[in-house]
């Protein structure tokens, strides 16, 4: 166990059973340092998203060891893993993924309300601060479904930040945005890494973006090269 790693894997292997047995991930061992901004690159089908969902604790069907913030989470139960996601990991997906019927503010507040460490009033305050930081406070009381794509993605980042997570994970977070908005979102992520010492792990196939991160992990056929 490496103290400097916020996220560490040892020899992770994964197989798809259907339609035929297929070795998706081969002996993946990696380390994400504290405060590091890492991108995972590779052709589509090389297993980079599969790896990300294992690292995110949502996929538990693998062999090997996963350590998050010094804790071996490999054999934890699903509710325990949900707790870890809630507290330590923030997500940004390619397709915004907000709850459309809830207000923007409520979307950001929900993970913190679930964590339950702060009173609703404090959570509300925190959420407004995050929205302000992402320059979208003006939309706080709109319904999430009323926003544009770039705005939604910024709200998703605000939600990812609400519980002060250790790691932000993104699955092609700029993949669905036009160049102006994706530049905007990417620079926000960069700023988070630089100013707030957050660890970021981004799956992307945009080489220009990847080059601006601290380190690129290149994958091919389920292995790191």
Q: Which stretch binds another protein (CB under 8 A): 38-46, 67-75, 87-95, 187-195?
A: 87-95
The CA R_g of the chain, rounded to the nearest whole Å, is 17
* 124 forms part of the interface with another protein (CB under 8 A): no
How would you class 185 by CB atoms within 10 Å of its CB: exposed for 0-12, middle for 13-18, buried for 19 or more?
A: buried
Helices (H), the chain: 48-55, 78-88, 104-115, 120-133, 149-161, 179-196, 207-211
Rule CB under 8 A: say whether 142 interacts with another protein: no
Stretch 94-113 residues interacting with another protein (CB under 8 A) = 94-95, 97-102, 106, 110-111, 113
Which listed residue (37, 62, 91, 186) binds another protein by CB under 8 A? 91
DSSP string, 160-185: HHTT--SEEEEESTTTTS-HHHHHHH
Q: Is 159 in the site for another protein (CB under 8 A)?
A: yes
Q: Which is nearest to 38 in space by CA: 222, 225, 210?
A: 210
> How many whole angstroms separate alpha carbon 187 and alpha carbon 111?
24
Instruction: Give the contact letters, 41-70, x = binds to another protein (CB under 8 A), - = no.
Output: --------x---x--x-xx-----------
Helix (H) or strand (E) holding 16: strand 5-16
What is the closest distance, in whole angstroms, from the C-beta atom of residue 110 to another protein in the complex? 7
Nearer to another protein, 70 or 116 (CB): 116
Exactly one of 3, 21, 79, 208 binds another protein (CB under 8 A); that residue is: 79
Binding site for another protein (CB under 8 A): 49, 53, 56, 58-59, 78-79, 82-83, 85-87, 91, 93-95, 97-102, 106, 110-111, 113-116, 159, 171
């Amino acid at each position: 166990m490496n103290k400097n790693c916020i996220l560490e894997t040892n020899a992770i292997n994964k197989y798809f059973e259907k339609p035929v047995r297929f070795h998706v991930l081969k002996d993946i061992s990696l380390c994400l340092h504290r405060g590091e901004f890492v991108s995972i690159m590779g052709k589509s089908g090389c297993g980079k998203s599969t790896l990300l969902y294992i690292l995110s604790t949502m996929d538990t069907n693998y062999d090997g060891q996963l350590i998050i913030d010094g804790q071996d989470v490999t054999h934890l139960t699903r509710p325990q893993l949900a707790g870890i996601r809630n507290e330590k990991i923030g997500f940004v997906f390619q397709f915004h993924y907000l709850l459309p019927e809830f207000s923007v503010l409520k979307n950001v507040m929900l993970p913190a309300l679930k964590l339950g460490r702060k009173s609703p009033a404090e959570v509300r305050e925190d959420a407004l601060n995050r929205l302000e930081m992402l320059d979208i406070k003006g939309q706080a009381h709109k319904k999430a479904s009323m926003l544009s794509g770039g705005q939604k993605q910024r709200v998703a980042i605000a939600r990812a930040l609400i519980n002060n997570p250790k790691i932000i994970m993104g699955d092609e977070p700029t993949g669905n945005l036009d160049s102006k908005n994706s530049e905007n979102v990417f620079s926000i992520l960069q700023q988070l890494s630089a100013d707030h010492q957050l660890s970021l792990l981004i799956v992307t196939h945009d080489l220009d973006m990847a080059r601006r991160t601290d380190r690129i992990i290149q994958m091919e056929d389920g292995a790191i090269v």
